[in-house]
Amino acid sequence: MIHFTCDCCHRVIDSELEVRYVVRMEVYASLDDTAVREEERDHLAEIEDILESMDDLDDDQIGDDVYSQVRYDLCSDCRRKFVKNPLGRGATAKVDFSKN
């Protein structure tokens, strides 16, 4: 039997008792040109140009700054928190220094 652990709180997710949620994220460099309207763009030509230029680069140069894809397993509690605040805004505690 495969065991799953929540990637957020690290609690074991019992697949017989609760639902496991999967979050998939894809982050890629935007190559938008604001001067060109969406309907005027030739997306296939753009992709072909990108692929051709990537052939000239080493794999190390095409790293996570261009494209990355991640997958997370979440328990129901962490899923609820994620849906409310997917970017984690304000999640870090603010430090309030004294005026000494």
Count of beta carbons in the 10 Å neighbourhood of residue 6? 19
Secondary structure letter of residue 25 according to DSSP: E
Domain layout of the chain by residue ranges: 4-84
Whether the model clears a pTM of 0.75, i.e. scores above it, the answer is no
The region that residue 36 occupies, defined by phi over 0 for left and psi between -120 and 50 for alpha, beta otherwise, is beta
85-98 per-residue burial string, b: 16 or more CB within 10 A, e: under 16: eeeeeeeeeeeeee
The owner of tokens 């709180």 is 9
Structure confidence by residue, pLDDT tens digits, 57-88: 555 555 667 788 899 999 999 999 999 999 88
Averaged confidence pLDDT in the chain:
80
